[in-house]
Amino acid sequence: MLFPTITFAVFFLLVFIGNWLLMPRPRLWKPFILLASCVFYGWWEWRFVLLLALSAVANQLFATALERAAGAASRKWLLAAAVAVNLGVLGWFKYYGFFVTSVVNFLGVFRLQADLPLLRIVLPIGISFLTFRVLSYVVDVYRGKLHTSSMLDFAVYVAFFPYILAGPIARASEFLPQLAGPRDPRRVDTSRAFFLIFAGLAKKMLLADYLATHIVNGVFTTPGQYTSLETLLGIIGYAVQIYCDFSAYADIAIGISLLLGFELPDNFNAPYTAISVQDFWRRWHMTLSRWLRDYLYIPLGGNRKGQTRTYVNIMITMVLGGLWHGAGWPFMFWGFLHGGALVAEHRRIDVRKLRAQRRLRAGASPSAPDVDTRPWGGGLWPRLGVFAFVTFAWVFFRSATFGAALGVLAQLFRGWGSVGAAVTPALLLAIAVGIGVQYVPRSLYERVQAGFSVLNPLAQGGLLAVGFLVLDVLGPAGPATFLYFRF
């Protein structure tokens, strides 16, 4: 079920009441929240609940075996088996069709035919997020950073419904300690929770869905029917749409979790204000960025084995990060673009450090000079450059094939003779607001939250009712799924 629907509102009201009634009695509360999460996930397809159950049981068995294993070799083999099983399940559901098609196309270049079965496999929603969550648990147990929990606690962590479909990627070390004891409803930051939920709904319904239906879907489906200006605005519109759509889900998930007494990690921090691609990845999908750093980049060697190996590790991490998003060459190319940009930025900083060291050895400076670790400095132009690069890369992320992506980019140069009917004041306003809100100081949001929190409950309820009414009037006719559901 989707967040912005009556069905979910009724579901959450019942869960909210049951959550706080049963919270003082963990033996009842944990099965209750697990059942509620299974109902939520099973609403899409009840058979996928079996996947959750199998994942929870299998990874709990792996973690328990790792904790009890004595020899280093046996522990490494157990970890390898756990990673292989989890990635194998992910690969079967998400990458089987891509693999078969790629093999057939490759052999076709040499005029060879391969009769490989192309099965119609339904992709379970949120399986990529599920895989990363359970792997963080198993790997942290292997590293000795986490002790195994009870089977019931781990099952709650696996299935917890607010983040199950599209994150944030809460690690076991962040979530499981919160199951240790009952929470106090009087300490719940309800003002922040409602603020996040309302902000998320506004970004989703008023900006993301509007841009999708009024420019983005058309430009990326039939680019030849749009002028160059419309195409440019469609590309920029997608950059705004994907941010508003994905951050909206994260905001709502965090807000709902707060109302249930749980803290989830933030997932976005004004990514389009970044002054470098490095800075962008510190702000965009932050839980994924940290996961890739801690469980892929660092195990590959990180920056500990020289510059060349560091650059290779960055490229591998980003290409695999692109593949994690979707089964297709455009996703991998998107990761390759970001990997190349990160390597270029690291190289720029490394050269700057090397020159500073040479000047120091030459006696030009009595002490080690400070080296600016910002690849392009600060100010307006680096921000515009990073936004332009990220927006360009989004074209490949959004397109189903390279041909489709190139078709969209080619249309930028074919029709500058007219403006186009899709260019309206409302469209320009939606794009400007989607980017502009990221430049609003966080302190202003905090002051607004603080002002809302001191209002009496009747005033808070009245403001929320008016706000939701406005969203209902101005929003789309029906709910639209979130973009990251397909990842």
Considering only CA atoms, which of 352, 369, 373, 370 is closest in space to residue 361? Answer: 369
Q: Using alpha carbons, select from 333, 345, 343 the residue that is nearest to residue 274.
A: 345
User: Residue 325 catalytic?
Assistant: yes
CA pseudo-torsion sign 470, 472, 476, 481: positive
DSSP symbol at 440: S
What six digits make up the tokens of 321? 């990060």
Helix axes 402-410, 380-398, angle to 10 degrees: 130
Question: How many Cα atoms sit within 13 Å of 54 on the Cβ side?
Answer: 9
Residue 213's region, left for phi above 0, alpha for psi from -120 to 50, else beta, is alpha
Q: Which two tokens stand for residue 318?
A: 């980003």
Which residue among the candidates 285, 325, 338, 346 is catalytic per the annotation?
A: 325
DSSP line for 296-314: IIHHHTTTSS-HHHHHHHH
Fill in the DSSP letter of residue 293. Answer: I
Task: Write down how long the chain is.
Answer: 487
Render the burial of 443-475: b for 16+ CB within 10 Å, e for the rest.
Answer: eeeeeeeeebeeeeeeebeeeeeeebeebeeeb
**Contact between 427 and 237 (Cβ < 8 Å):** yes
Spatial distance between the Cα atoms of 72 and 75, rounded to a whole number of angstroms: 5
Q: Is the peptide bond preceding residue 168 cis, with omega within 30 degrees of 0?
A: yes
Distance CA 376, CA 369 (A): 18
Instruction: Name which of 196, 189, 185, 163 is nearest 467 in CA terms.
Output: 196
Q: What angle do CA 203, 208, 211 make, to 5 degrees?
A: 135
Active site residues: 325
